[in-house]
Structure 1
Amino acid sequence: MNPRHRPLLRDAAPVALRRLGLALCCAAALCPAAWAQSSPYYIGVSQSFAHDSNLIRLRDGQAAPAGFSKSDTISSTGLVAGVDQTFGRQRLSGSGALRANRYSNNSDFDSQSYSANLDLAWQTIERLSGNLTLGADRALRADLRDRNDQFIATDNNETSRRFGATVSLGVAGPLGLEAGYSRSDVSYSAPEAAFNDYEQSSASAGIRWRLGGSSSVGLGVRQTRTDYPQLLVGLADPSDRRKRDDIDLNGTWVPSGASRFDLRLSRGKTKHDRFTQRDFTGNTGALAWSYTPGGRTRLNARLSRESGQDATRATTASSQITESLSLSADYEVSAKVMAMASLQNYRRTLDGSGQFQTSVRGRDRGTLWSLGARWQALRGLTLACQAGREERSTNSSPLLNDPFSASSYSCSGQFVLQ
């Protein structure tokens, strides 16, 4: 039997489930007090099974490379932990997970992944407050292509790290000052994908006027610097550095306890050190609306137009502008059952000028949707299932992207002691 095509549900599933069951039994036996009282800390185990009809994101009409399968079933077994602790005026929250992932048809993709997030909200006795965030993730990216849009036939893990800090100072009455800084970097383990490595930092400062309640309006300036250190080939300096300066007008309006609007309008200019033909001046922004008409229903909508790596959809070194509309709804079927649905439609403008022999600029669009349900079976036991689909159209410039589609479904369980 081809080692790439293992009977996952026959071999891996029972092993994973036996280990999971043993861990649950031990945890329940060793920590009976956890059922009697709540704690700011939790620790637990998780298990999921997922199927993807186009794991490696083959383009329409494209066959899988020899030795690889287009579709796959993935088993993921993990350890999870978290904290949500308040002390005085401060609040510390965080979560983390370690997972072992096994692929039924593409065993070369067997890998370990992790995710970690930490957030500290702080406040002084006076009018000074702020927020600190840290995060790191590592996961397989079998869908990424090389710079010529060819399949990468090696294990390609994406590692991302991020840091953010904001501070607010009340000056006089409803007037306040705000400042923020963030930094992130993304890298890939496969040399063929290293041209997508990037580092980004952003700094902002502004004023905010509180209108009453939770409503406010603000004005600020922001500068973002992005560097793709390995984007180019055949040059002594292969990096592509770009800088964007923005003026931001933003506001929050809470007309009632059930509805909230968040708006940002920005005017900015992006300048490239090398590819001046990619320089861009224009408007960006976002409008978000959240609505809770009753105790059981929550609705969210977001319309955005973002530049470069600020977009909510996956971007590339060629990304210039991404416009997207996102909708989501949660419905509490009962005290223990939640139904969820989401839909996103996006349109991207890509500019590959300088990476190819000719000036290349094009647009494509895509759609993603998902349906799911979550059941809180016990205080510490959560079961969930989800189905989804992703489609992307042909780019007006075939050198930049080709169309593809993929469907997926998954079921998972998580048990925690808190």
Structure 2
Amino acid sequence: MNRNSIGLVAAALASLAATGAHAEPLSLTASHTWTHDSNLARTQNPISDTVNVTALQLGLDKQYGRQTYTGSAKVSAVRYSKYGDLLNNDAKDVDLGFSSDLMSNWRVLLNGSYGENLNQFENNKVTDHLVKNTRTNKNAFGQLIYGVSGIWALVGSVGKATLGYSVPEYQYLNYRQDQQGLKAVYYSTDMLNYSLGLRHVNSQFTQSGEEIDENNLDLATSWTVSGLSQLNATVSWTESKRRVQADRRFNGLTGNLNWNYTPRGAVSYGVTAYRTSNSDQYSTNYLSFDPSIGLTRNTAQLAFNNRVTALNLYAKWLVSAKMSLTASTSWNRYNVENDLINNKINDTSHFRRYGLVATYAPERWLKLSAGLNKYSQTKDATRNPYSGHSVDVSAAFILD
């Protein structure tokens, strides 16, 4: 579930305020993306295809007195050239947020999300990657903060999440998750804070009866230097145990880090890293910097893994006020324990990606982009090795 701290929330709100202070509360974006992938199915013997995605998104960002309302609703028509009869689908994504100051020293934060998308092909079974397997995610999260105006704050949080698959062969992965947390936050300055807290996460796989119970001790910091130059980091000591497969325990470090550095000049840099555990694998939310749209909330959606360690780097060059060029790379390490009761399989593998994206906005209402990505995956107990590349071109029309 969410690993938010007050610093992360404040950074996101500050970014939105900086980029959209004079914008209308409602925005409408229509976009089309054309992608050709040399290895769509992520298999050892590549299968290529061309994908066209036409999307319509409604956005909300409205401050009314002491309340702030945010949200987005997006519908995407996803169409495949070769495998359209098998894979064509309509994706749906909804995200809603609300915050309000109460009395003189309280604040409440609420958010919820709903997603309906095809499971990533590389996360389907190695013997049948090209299958129309729809993942449905539902998440709700709330925080109550006491101490908004002082140097100390106390934050209580609760959350709930569910995940379901449409294909019966994958429904043993359906789960529901509950989270409770309590932490203390210390603001040493307006730009720097630390927090220490406890977080309990319980995940139940509804078909198999497996239950993962996890306790976390979180140490976090948020440091904003200026503008988009900021550091957000959480280090957690995690103790995880299972009810059915009791020997599959995990005691160790998890966490996430986001660092974005914008020196004087036309170039900015960023680093995102995270390490997730058993119950984090589907629902760890973390703020990262998307070179095209700024601060955004992402979700680690990686199947069959018990531990994922990831590192993402980017460098963005503002060629002009209307054009930018971004180079990025990603590295993932998977520690796999296959979900077998009688045969315990331990294995590791690595994923690598290199990308280059150019964006051009000739008008405020028009944004064009083109990108190239090269990727590769090594073999482990649940993954076949694969490699390939993709090329994409997109256009977005924005009304706000």
Taking structure 1 as reference, are residues 97 and 371 closer, same or farther at Cα in structure 2, changes over 3 Å only?
Answer: same
Matching of residues 24-103 of structure 1 within 5 Å: 39-58=24-43, 60=44, 62=45, 70-103=47-80
Letter paired with 2:89: S
- The aligned counterpart of 1:30 is none
C-alpha deviation, 1:239, in angstroms: 2.6
Structure 1 residue 273 displacement after superposition: 0.6
Going from structure 1 to structure 2, the CA distance change for 1:334 and 1:366 (only over 3 Å counts) comes to same
Q: Which moved more, 1:112-121 or 1:258-267?
A: 258-267
**Judging changes above 3 Å, is the alpha-carbon distance between structure 1 residues 256 and 116 closer, same or farther for their aligned structure 2 residues?**
closer
Alpha-carbon distance in structure 2 between the residues aligned to 1:176 and 1:50: 47
User: Hey, which bits of structure 1, 4+ residues long, moved more than 4 A?
Assistant: 144-147, 255-258
Which amino acid in 1 is paired with 2:302?
T
Encode CA deviations 1:332-352: one digit per residue, 9 max, x unaligned. 221111222221111111112
Q: Following TM superposition, by how much is the alpha carbon of 1:77 offset from its aligned partner in structure 2, in angstroms?
A: 1.8
Q: What percent identity do the matched residue pairs reach?
A: 24
Query: Which deviates more, 296-305 or 158-167?
Result: 296-305
Residues 137 and 162 in structure 2, CA contact (< 8 A), matched pair in contact too: yes
- Specify whether residues 228 and 307 from structure 1 end up closer, same or farther in structure 2 by C-alpha distance, changes over 3 A only: same
Residues 1:143 and 2:130 are matched in the alignment: no
Identify the match of residue 199 of structure 1 among 176, 181, 184. 176
Contact 1:308 1:322 in 2 (8 A): no
Assess if the C-alpha contact under 8 Å between 2:201 and 2:214 holds in 1: yes
Structure 1: state its 5+ residue gaps.
1-36, 64-69, 231-237
Question: What does 1:273-352 align with in structure 2 at a 5 Å threshold?
Answer: 273-294=243-264, 296-310=266-280, 313-317=300-304, 319-352=305-338
Q: 1:166 to 1:80 in 2, by over 3 A?
A: same
Question: Which residue pairs with 1:415 in the alignment?
Answer: 397
Deviation of 1:204 after TM superposition, in Å, equals 0.8
CA deviations on 1:69-116 (whole Å, 9 max, x unpaired) are x11101122222111111112221222221222211112211111212
Matched, 1:263 2:233: yes
Q: Quick check: which has more Rg, 1 or 2?
A: 1
Please give the secondary structure, in 1, of the residue aligned with 2:169. helix
| Conserved 8 A contact 1:45-1:78 | yes
The code of the aligned residue for 1:351 comes to E
How far did 1:224 drift? 0.8
- Separation (CA, whole Å) in 2 of partners of 1:139 and 1:266: 30
Matched, 1:128 2:120: no
The match for 1:402 among 384, 387, 394 is 384
Shift of 1:152: 5.1
* Structure 1 contact 144–151 (Cα < 8 Å) conserved: no
Structure 1 residue 360: Cα displacement:
0.9
The residue aligned with 2:212 is 242
Q: Following the alignment from structure 2 to structure 1, what is the Cα–Cα distance between the partners of residues 32 and 343?
A: 48
Cα RMSD (Å): 2.3
| Whole-Å separation in 1 of the counterparts to 2:259 and 2:123 | 35
Structure with bigger strand share is 2
Q: Is the CA contact (8 Å cut-off) linking 1:96 and 1:117 kept in structure 2?
A: yes
Match of 1:229 among 178, 187, 206: 206
Give the letter for the 1:315 counterpart: L
TM-score (norm. length: structure 1): 0.80
Once the two structures are TM-superposed, the CA of residue 248 in structure 1 deviates from its matched residue by: 1.2
Judged with a 3 Å threshold, the aligned counterparts in structure 2 of structure 1 residues 297 and 200 are, in CA distance, closer, same or farther, namely farther
Give the TM-score normalised by structure 2: 0.83
Distance 1:142 1:263, change over 3 A: closer
Equivalenced residues, count: 361
SS at match of 1:194: helix
- Distance in 1 (CA, whole Å) between partners of 2:225 and 2:115 is 37
CA distance, structure 2, for counterparts of residue 287 and residue 295 of structure 1: 24
Deviation for aligned residue 1:38: 5.1
Letter in 2 for 1:379: R
Counterparts of 2:148 and 2:48 in 1: how far apart (Å)?
Answer: 58
SS in 2 for 1:358: coil
| Code of the aligned partner of 2:58 | A
Letter in 2 for 1:159: T
Which residue in the other structure is 1:383 paired with? 368
Paired residues of 2:191 and 2:225 also in contact (CA < 8 A): no
Equivalent-residue separation in structure 2 for 1:324 and 1:153 (angstroms)? 25
The code of the aligned residue for 2:212 comes to R
Indicate how the Cα distance of structure 1 residues 161 and 325 shifts in structure 2: closer, same or farther if over 3 A, else same.
Answer: same
How is 1:176-187 mapped onto 2 (pairs within 5 angstroms)? 176-187=153-164
Native 8 Å contact 1:52 1:408 kept in 2: yes
Q: Give me the whole-angstrom Cα distance separating, in 2, the residues matched to 1:310 and 1:267.
A: 13
Structure 2 gaps of 5+ residues are 1-21, 282-298
Can you list the C-alpha shifts for 1:260-306, whole angstroms capped at 9, x where unaligned? 22232211210101011111111222333221112633321133322
Q: CA deviation at 1:125?
A: 4.2
- Which residue identity does 2:61 align to in structure 1? D
